């Protein structure tokens, strides 16, 4: 198979974790005889520094010419004081919108050998296997700040807008995913307070008629946040709006032990997709070679599966990651309880590559 991949490392640890992920991609490609053409582009603060904008037209063009996009992370203190139009995070929002990547899949799976790395009790996290389906191109992050902007010191306004069609398409996506899994869907909202959530709930009920084999429950977001910490096993697929999904997935990362373990796929319905870790650019550890590359590496596996239909190749990476963890290797973000071997970003990636080459 021949495919072109746009690679946008971004800022902070984005650069560091991408290097290892590309080595893993190459190792899998070589093993199975695929030709993965990789071309790098700029996004976020590094694009602002070079082009004066967080997502230059060159980057959009590169993504359009590619079959999938791998992205590291954007942002950092260096760019925090820029006007909001050219903040690095704006680049990420813009690229999601430009390519209509409305469905963000965030799997949360407890690795057996990492159960001790979670701050939660072993019996709570063992065997957790859930997916958060986050709506990615609507809601608060895209609503125009309305009115009163001239009086910024006294009042700030964000708007939360959802069109029915936007809710329908993400809900269909979540139902279809649930059908392929344990056939249980939890829709998370705040319908006791928000109008958009009331519409969300109505849409879920309407659409559920088309998926009679899927069991549906509605849950308020505050309760969902609590249940994720004490009964995460009860969840299979969760579907929710943009900001709730953002927050709940960082929370859910503690089931795996670290934010550095969560990959994600941003999809739109055809084979094109953007794949990135759930975490940000981690300026506190950037440049120190300490970042956990596994979320980025697992995002490569998601790309192979969702955009290229390469299931066996994706599983090979996931098995490789599991074997390295089983062998006791940990980056610093994963609590070792005095056991295991702490390694840096490059060494961790290299260990995964070696597992693949040994197969």
Question: Which residues would be at the binding site for ligand NAI (CB under 6 A)?
Answer: 13, 73-76, 89, 92, 259-260, 276, 279-285, 291-292, 295, 333
**Which one of the listed residues 173, 190, 236, 290 is annotated catalytic?**
190
Give how far Cα 136 sits from Cα of 95, 264, 304, Å. 11, 12, 21
The burial of 309, by beta-carbon neighbours within 10 Å (0-12 exposed, 13-18 middle, 19 or more buried), is given as exposed
Alpha helices in 33-70 (DSSP H): 45-51, 57-64
Q: How many residues does the chain have?
A: 359
Q: Is 329 a catalytic residue?
A: no
HSE-CB at 207 with a 13 A cutoff on CA atoms is 25
The residues, any chain, with a CB within 8 Å of residue 49's CB and separated by 6 or more, are: none
Our CB check for ligand NAI shows the closer of 177 and 298 to be 298
Q: Is 176 a catalytic residue?
A: no
Q: Is 250 a catalytic residue?
A: yes
Distance from the first to the final alpha carbon of the chain: 20
* Residue 135 sits in the site that holds Mg ion (CB under 5 A): no
User: Nearest approach, Cβ of 168 to ligand NAI (angstroms)?
Assistant: 26
Among Mg ion, ligand NAI, none, the one that 291 touches (CB under a kind-dependent 5 to 8 A) is ligand NAI
User: Nearest approach, Cβ of 281 to Mg ion (angstroms)?
Assistant: 11
Among ligand NAI, Mg ion, none, the one that 246 touches (CB under a kind-dependent 5 to 8 A) is Mg ion
Q: What angle do CA 29, 32, 38 make, to 5 degrees?
A: 15
Question: Distance between CA atoms of 146 and 321, rounded to whole angstroms?
Answer: 46
**Which one of the listed residues 141, 162, 211, 329 is annotated catalytic?**
141
Among Mg ion, ligand NAI, none, the one that 285 touches (CB under a kind-dependent 5 to 8 A) is ligand NAI
Q: Which residue is nearest to Mg ion (CB)?
A: 246
Our CB check for Mg ion shows the closer of 99 and 141 to be 141
Q: Is 40 a catalytic residue?
A: no
User: Nearest approach, Cβ of 296 to ligand NAI (angstroms)?
Assistant: 7
Question: Helices 294-306 & 13-32, crossing angle to 10 degrees?
Answer: 50
User: Nearest approach, Cβ of 197 to ligand NAI (angstroms)?
Assistant: 24
User: Nearest approach, Cβ of 246 to Mg ion (angstroms)?
Assistant: 4
Q: Is 67 a catalytic residue?
A: no
Which residues, numbered 201-260, are part of the site for Mg ion (CB under 5 A)? 246
């Amino acid at each position: 198979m021949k495919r072109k991949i746009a690679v946008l490392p971004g800022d902070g640890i984005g650069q560091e974790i991408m290097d290892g992920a590309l080595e893993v991609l190459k190792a899998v490609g070589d093993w199975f005889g695929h030709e993965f053409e990789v071309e790098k582009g700029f996004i976020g603060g590094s694009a602002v520094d070079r082009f004066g904008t967080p997502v230059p037209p060159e980057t959009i063009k590169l993504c359009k010419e590619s079959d999938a996009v791998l992205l590291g992370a954007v942002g950092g203190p260096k760019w925090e004081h820029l006007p909001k139009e050219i903040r690095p995070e704006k680049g990420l929002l813009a690229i999601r919108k430009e390519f209509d990547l409305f469905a963000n899949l965030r799997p949360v799976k407890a690795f057996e050998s990492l159960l001790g790395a979670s701050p939660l009790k072993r019996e709570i996290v063992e065997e957790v296997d859930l997916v958060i389906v986050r709506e990615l191109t609507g809601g608060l992050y895209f609503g125009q700040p309305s009115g009163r902007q001239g009086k910024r010191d006294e009042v700030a306004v964000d708007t939360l807008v959802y069109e029915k069609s936007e809710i329908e398409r993400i809900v269909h996506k979540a139902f279809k995913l649930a059908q392929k899994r344990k056939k249980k869907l939890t829709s998370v909202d705040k319908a006791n307070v928000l109008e958009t959530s009331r519409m969300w709930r109505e849409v879920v009920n309407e659409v559920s008629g088309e998926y009679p084999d899927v069991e549906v429950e509605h849950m308020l977001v505050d309760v969902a946040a609590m249940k994720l910490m004490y009964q995460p096993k009860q969840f299979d697929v969760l579907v929710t709006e943009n900001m709730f999904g953002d927050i709940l997935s960082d929370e859910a990362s503690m089931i795996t032990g670290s934010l550095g373990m969560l990959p994600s796929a941003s999809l739109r319905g055809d084979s094109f997709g953007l794949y990135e870790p759930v975490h940000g650019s981690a300026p506190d550890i950037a440049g120190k070679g300490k970042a956990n590359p596994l979320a980025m590496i697992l995002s490569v596996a998601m790309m192979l599966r969702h955009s290229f239909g390469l299931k066996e190749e994706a599983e090979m990476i996931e098995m490789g990651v599991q074997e390295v963890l089983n062998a006791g290797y940990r980056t610093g973000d994963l609590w070792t309880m005095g056991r295991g071997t702490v390694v840096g970003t490059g060494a961790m990636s290299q260990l995964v590559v070696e597992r693949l080459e040994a197969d």
